[in-house]
Structure 1
Amino acid sequence: MKRNRVYLAVLLCLPALAVWGVLWFMGTGALMGHREVADCLGPAFNSGAQSFAQWPLLPDAPTLEPLVRLLLDSPEFFVLFWNTCFQVFAQLAGQLLVGAPAAWAFSRLRFPGRRFLFGVYIVLMLLPFQVTMVPHYLVLDWLGLIDTPWSIIWPGVFSTFPVFIMAKGFDAVPRSMLEAASLDGAGYGRTFFYIGLPLGMPGILSALVLGFLEGWNAVEQPMTFLKNPSNWPLSLYLPQVAESELSLAMVSGLIALTPAVLIFLFGQKYLELGIQASGLKE
């Protein structure tokens, strides 16, 4: 039994090391100067090099120069960072206002065409962006939203994936509680706000977290709908800075990773409370 646990631990450590290896690579690279990063990775970008690229466990001469240069000498980084924040959090607010009531209707209300409409949602959810890119572009161009932040926000607000996730979360709400609320005179609105939202919080949080990750790392949508670089999100800045200087790319990637980590740390307690609330059975 103990041997099986050891094998399982070793097996689980392999993917963990792969993830931590990337983070270690990024963290140590953020503490290296431009010359040291170029010396370590130069052979990988030089086809005529006689040596191989190598990466030390720790920097030979740790420095905060890349971080200082990024924070003090790169104003475009802050512009694109706040562009990303505005686009992502506006999408999340819209998904909460639009997606949550729609998911509650699909989960708890019975109306003609519900199954067909939900099936259409599933089909649209499965379609990749490459398939819907042209219709999105034509509609946004007709509305005059191309090359504006709203060309990224509105498609995200009316995305079908958050509705699907939230609906599955609302399915866990006990029907006996809804019947009791109805006997007490609560209408659809009060039942949704006072019972559906608290008990369906796991699905809502899951949808918002996944929506944040998708919006924060979006590349194809901004490249298609945004022409002016001043409207670009941070995801389009990282490839460009990587072409000019790898040390700045390491620091930029580390800072871009920070919001996702903070959301998990500060939202973990509320996520656990929502999961506990959804554990009520019929």
Structure 2
Amino acid sequence: MKIKLGVKTCLLFILTLFIWVPLWMLFTGSFMGGDELYKYIWSVLNQRESMASWTGFPRYPTLRHYVELLLDSPEFFVMFWNSCIQVIPVLLGQIGIAVPAAWAFARFEFKGKKLLFFIYMILMVLPFQVTMVSSYLVLYRLGFVDTHLALILPNIFSTFPVFIMVKFFKEVPKSLIEAAKLDGAGEFIIFTRIGIPIGSPGILSIITLGFLEYWNAIEQPLTFLVRRKELWPLPLYLPDISSDNAGAAFGASVIMMLPALLLFLYGQKYLEQGIAASGLKE
């Protein structure tokens, strides 16, 4: 048993290294000078057949790349603010729409409920590439193309948060709801005082999942914000960085990763509960 446990531990440690090595390269590369960084990745930048190399720590650490981004790159701040404008309203809108909708699917019986939920599930599994053309045509007719609303409105009505929250709300004991009704509580009070507190782990999990998805979105901004690059979010800042300024790309990647990483670490427990409730582990 001890030998098996040791082998499993070694395998997990090796797999962990494969995951963390790129992140370590990204972090250390953001503190390297331009000449030092170019020495390690010149073969990749110049598309040579030779292998790139790396070192564990920067030989001459510098904060120059972060200074350039935070003090001398106004376009970086514009794109960071664009990401905030496009992500935060989506999360708030999903809470305001998906949570009540999930409560209705979980607690009420109405005509066409199964069919409607089946349609929700079909929409959930459809990738963006399938609905891209139809979504563009609808947004174009509404005049929302090349505006922040082109990214906000479609994502607010995402069906995946509804699917997760239905699983949580179905776990609410019927005896608890019946007891609340006997005490004179109406449906709104039951939803706000019982449903939301019990479903709070699910709400936090959809916030975490949604933030990770929309904060790193690339395809939707490229599709719906073609003519107005000043509205582009932060993920589209990195492709515009040239090979001569690769250090800025490393620094921008670190800054972009920090909000998602901090939110993930905070909501990891709730995220696990959301994944377990949705059945994704299977």
* 8 A Cα contact 2:205 2:267, kept in partner: no
Contact 2:45-2:243 at 8 Å conserved across structures? no
SS of 2:237 mapped into structure 1: helix
Instruction: Give the 3-state SS of the residue equivalent to 1:41 in structure 2.
Output: helix
Equivalent residue for 2:116?
117
Match of 1:221?
220
Name the structure 1 match of 2:8: 8
Shift of 1:232: 0.4
Aligned residue in 2 for 1:161: 160
RMSD over aligned Cα atoms: 1.9
Shift of 1:262: 2.2
Distance 2:183 2:110 in 1: 23
CA distance in 1, matches of 2:197, 2:217: 30
Which residues of 2 match residues 10-89 of structure 1 at below 5 A?
10-47=10-47, 51-89=50-88
Q: Distance in 2 between matches of 1:214 and 1:224?
A: 16
Distance change (3 Å), C-alpha of 1:243 and 1:48: closer
For the residues of structure 2 that align with 1:244 and 1:140, how far apart are their CA atoms? 38
Once the two structures are superposed, the pairs formed by residues 122-161 of structure 1 within 5 Å of their partners are 122-161=121-160
Structure 1 residues 235-274: aligned runs within 5 Å? 235-241=235-241, 243-267=243-267, 271=270
State the distance in 1 between where 2:242 and 2:215 align. 18
CA displacement, residues 134-179 of structure 1 (integer Å, 9 cap, x when unaligned): 1111111111100000100001100111111111121221121111
Contact 2:147 2:225 in 1 (8 A): yes
What is the CA–CA distance in structure 1 between the aligned matches of 2:169 and 2:17, rounded to whole Å?
36
Change (3 A) 1:74 1:108: same
For structure 1, list consecutive stretches of 5 or more residues without a partner in the other structure. Answer: none
Q: 1:128 and 1:243, CA in 2 relative to 1: closer, same or farther beyond 3 A?
A: farther
Once the two structures are superposed, residues 161-201 of structure 1 have per-residue CA deviations (whole angstroms, 9 ceiling, x without a partner) of 11111111212211211111122121111111000001011
Q: Is the 8 A contact 1:242 1:248 kept in 2?
A: no
Alignment CA distance shift 1:252-1:174 (3 Å): same
What is the rounded CA distance, in whole Å, between the counterparts of 1:232 and 1:63 in structure 2?
A: 29
Shift of 1:260: 1.3
Provide the C-alpha distance between the structure 2 equivalents of 1:53 and 1:91, rounded to a whole number of angstroms: 40
Distance in 2 (CA, whole Å) between partners of 1:244 and 1:206 is: 40
Deviates more, 1:168-177 or 1:130-139: 168-177
Q: Hey, what's the Cα distance between the residues in 1 that align with 2:192 and 2:136?
A: 35
Map of 1:233 onto structure 2? 233
SS of 1:61's equivalent in the other structure is coil
SS at match of 1:31: coil
Q: Secondary structure at the match of 2:241?
A: helix
Q: Distance in 2 between matches of 1:235 and 1:14?
A: 30
**8 Å CA contact retained: 2:90, 2:152:** yes
**Partner amino acid for 2:252?**
S
Contact 1:31/1:63 (8 A) holds in 2? yes
Is this contact kept in 2: 1:104–1:192, CA < 8 A? Answer: yes
200-209 vs 81-90, greater mean Cα deviation: 200-209
**What is the letter of the counterpart of residue 84 of structure 1?**
S
Q: TM-score, normalised by structure 2?
A: 0.92
Number of the residue aligned with 2:280: none
Secondary structure of 1:147's partner?
coil
Per mean C-alpha deviation after superposition, the further-off stretch among 82-91 and 178-187 is 178-187
Aligned partner of 1:259: which letter? P
Give the partner amino acid of 1:206: S
Once the two structures are TM-superposed, the CA of residue 36 in structure 1 deviates from its matched residue by 1.1
Number of residue pairs matched?
273
Give the match for residue 98 of structure 2.
Answer: 99
